[in-house]
Amino acid sequence: MLPELATPAALGGLALGYALGSIPFGLILTKFAGLGDVRAIGSGNIGATNVLRTGRKGLAAATLLGDALKGTAAVLIACQLGEGPALAAGLGAFLGHLFPIWLGFKGGKGVATFIGVLLAFSPPALAVFAAIWLGLAFALKYSSLAALAASAATPLALWALGAPAQALLFLLLGLLLWWKHAPNIRRLASGTEGRIGQKG
């Protein structure tokens, strides 16, 4: 049975998740480092992969960590109120990262926040995601392709682990992630997608 989502607690979880998810760590960290607006280079994204194109691996790692942990924090806070609020907070965090109000609703593509939300719900499913991502990223050097494949496998992993409500959440998050990666998919098809470590 799916948890109740149309409750004040769940709506509160959604709002909390959105507030945390909308913090643009990639933009904040690169500006503080004196690198200007990260949206002006590479893919124009505010996420860790594009921050890496500045050549600053430490900043990219910090961006990845911040974007992931904001999703983890949202779920862990909201789970004190039950599974419904936790699921809503995970959705809110992901939507906040994709569509932050502070940046005119033009945010990142969600991979790190997807990972952070998954960490809060199911470390075993995260291990499946990580194995697929790392294997493909190491072999092919395409972060986007690795993320797309890993996100597609996540709902199946959660379903197999006996978490149908979480599987449905990550099916929705995965569809949004694929939609945000439409330009990457076109570049992958044409052979023009940037590789991991390639500078802008």
Q: What pLDDT was estimated at residue 79? A: 95
**Angle 29-199-20 (CA atoms, 0-180°, nearest 5)?**
30
Among the ranges given (15-19, 74-78, 104-108, 127-131), the one the predictor scored with the smallest mean pLDDT:
104-108
Dist CA 55 CA 34 (whole Å): 13
pLDDT mean over 25-42? 84
Least confidently predicted of 9-18, 54-63, 99-108, 136-145: 54-63
Amino acid at position 139, single letter: A
Residue 3: predicted pLDDT: 67
CB atoms within 10 A of CB 61: 13
Which whole number is the average pLDDT over 117-145?
95
More confident residue, 44 or 60: 60
Taking the mean position of all CA atoms in its chain, how far away is CA 43? 16
Please say if the pLDDT value at position 160 is more than 60: yes
Residues 11-25, mean pLDDT to the nearest whole number = 96
Q: Is the pLDDT of residue 171 over 60?
A: yes
pLDDT of residue 198: 60
Eight-state DSSP code of residue 100: -
Whether the CB-CB separation of 65 and 73 falls below 8 Å is answered with no
Q: Could you read off the pLDDT of 45-66 as tens digits, one per residue?
A: 788 877 877 878 888 899 999 9
